[in-house]
A and B are shown apart, each in its own frame.
Chain A
Amino acid sequence: MDSKHIEHLLEKYWACETSLEEELELKTFFNQEEIPDHLNQHAPLFKYLQKENEYPSLDESFDDELLKAISRKEGKQVKVSRWYEPYLKLAAVLILLIVASFAVTTYLNKQEMPVEVADTYENPEDAFEETKKALLLISKSIGKGRTHTQKITVIHEAQDKIKDSNNTSL
């Protein structure tokens, strides 16, 4: 491999400008047998980085242990869900029955309900009287408000008169 190219890659490496591929290229270069003398000082670093990538490692027995642990967990979960399942179904059916019976009785009660209960008057005269009462109540309240405002107007008028008399005396 061209040592100029490696020198260039090294410069980029120290400046953190190398890509992962270029870093791999450096590792491969420095892990070969023959390295030019002027580049040899960098070899231990890349040899170390390569070595560390292989150590330590986990063997197949780790996979077996882990998968066993997972399947044991899964087995337990399945058992629990089987134990719950019929009770959950029963509860769901009961809730459904209660809701349905409540809905049916409410519907039947509504049908039996007399029409008079409805919130209106069958006789137009009664309705008129009731409306009149309501309107009178409102007008009474408005009337009250007016008497109060009239009082305020009297005060205003008095104030104006005083002001006028002051102005004329000045």
Chain B
Amino acid sequence: MSIEEFKQDILPQKNKLYRFAYRLVVDEEEAKDIVQETMIKAWNHQATLDEVDNKEAWCMRVTKNMALDKIKSKRHQTTDGFKEGFDVQDHKEANPGKLTELKDLMTNIKNFIRQLPDKQQQVLQLRDIEGLSYKEIGDAMDIDLNQVKVNLFRARKSLKENIININAYGL
């Protein structure tokens, strides 16, 4: 793999890998280190990577394993990065009251997703946030297609129930 091929095939995945790592370790700096280590590993294992059909899934898997190792080696305290990510200024024209309500609802969804079992969380993130196919998710997480579908179905089912409950009883 030349440096040009690396820039074309591997480097553009940085944000996808970064978000995936960030949601696992919940620390921007640590997530950044994980992505850097993943990419250096990809560069060092060019021969292996050349034989792999889906380079993106390979990188995702490496990222996931590195992130899980970091979580294991250190007890992580969940910090809330969502406040920084959700920029209220984007919706200047909206009604402030409505905006606060929307923000609260989104925070509720975020917290609800975080309480889902790990596998459901990861499958939901890879599908609904990153837009990966079922096969790509299976490759990235080392699970079969059936497990991908089952976990996604359960995650969405819980989400739907949560939305219905909020609508019926409020936050």
Contact = CB atoms under 8 A, between A and B. Distances in A.
B163 A51 contact: no
Interface residues of A, number: 33
B14 interface: yes
Contacts of B70: none
Interface string B40-63: 100110000000000000000000
Contacts of A69: 36, 40
Contacts, number: 94
A74 B115 CA distance: 44
A73 interface: yes
Contacts of A51: 85-86, 106
B109 A16 contact: no
A44 B109 contact: yes
Given A44-B106, A55-B85, A49 B36 contact: no
B129 interface: yes
Nearest to A13: B156
A9 to B, nearest CB: 13
B40 A56 contact: no
Interface in A69-92: 69-71, 73
Contacts of B14: 58, 62-63
A53 interface: yes
Contacts of A24: 131
Nearest to B31: A56
Interface residues of B, number: 47
Contacts of A62: 14, 32, 35-36
B69 interface: no
Contacts of A58: 14-15, 18, 32, 35
Contacts of B109: 44-45, 48
B85 to A, nearest CB: 4
A98 interface: no
Nearest to A57: B15
Interface centre among A44, A70, A71 (most CB of B within 10 A): A44
Given A14-B160, A47-B102, A66-B11, A52 B40 contact: no
Given A16-B149, A44-B109, A56 B19 contact: yes
16 contacts: A16-B152, A33-B93, A41-B164, A41-B166, A43-B102, A45-B163, A52-B85, A52-B129, A55-B19, A62-B35, A63-B11, A66-B11, A66-B40, A67-B7, A70-B3, A70-B40
Chain A to chain B: the 6 pairs with minimum beta-carbon distance, closest first: A55-B85, A44-B105, A48-B106, A41-B167, A52-B129, A57-B15
